[in-house]
Amino acid sequence: MTKDEENLRLLSIFHYVVAGIAGIFGLFPLMYVGMGALMVCGKFDAPHPDPVVRPFGWVMIAIGAILFIAGLVFVACLVSAGRCLTRRRHYTFCLVVAAFACMFMPFGTVLGVFTIVLLQKDSVRQHFGHVPSSPPVVAS
C-alpha cells in the first residue's frame, strides 16, 4: 500500500469520526424546536399571556428545524465523502465537502485542510482517475 493510499484510508476514517461529532452537535437545534413547541402550547404563559409568545414559538420551531436539517445534510455529506474517498470516486465532491468541512471548527477545519492538501497532489488525482493537467503550450 502506497503512502497516498494509506493517507486516503485515514482521511476516510476521519471523515466518519468528524461526521459523528457533527451529528452530536447537530442535535442541539432540537432544543429550539422544543422551546418553540412549549411556547406554542402555552406552557410559558404568565398570568397575563403575551400575544407575541405563540408566533415567536413558531419562529423558533422553524429556525430549529432548518438548522437541524442543515446539520443532517452536512453529516450525510461527510459520510458520503468518506465513502467516496475509500472507493476513489467523485473527486470534485470530496474536494467541495472538504471545503465546507472547514467551517466546522476545529475538527472540520483540520480535516478539510488535510483533505484539500492531499487531493491536490497529482499522484492522488491519478488514484481518482484524473490525469494531471499539463501546462499549456504556447506556440511561437
- Burial group, residue 57, by CB count within 10 angstroms (0-12, 13-18, 19+): buried
Position 70 in a domain? yes
Q: Round to whole Å and give the CA distance between 90 and 132.
A: 16
Q: Give the confidence band of 132 by pLDDT, cuts at 50, 70, 90.
A: low
Position 132 in a domain? no
Q: What is the DSSP letter of 60?
A: H
Mean pLDDT of 94-112: 94
Q: The pTM is what?
A: 0.85
Instruction: Give how many domains the chain has, as a whole number.
Output: 1
Residue with cell 476513489: 88
Position 96 in a domain? yes
Position 120 in a domain? yes
Position 139 in a domain? no
Write out the residue range of the structural domain in which residue 79 sits.
3-125
Position 111 in a domain? yes
| Region of poorest pLDDT, from 1-15, 38-52, 106-120 | 38-52
Mean pLDDT of 12-17: 96
Mean pLDDT of 88-97: 94
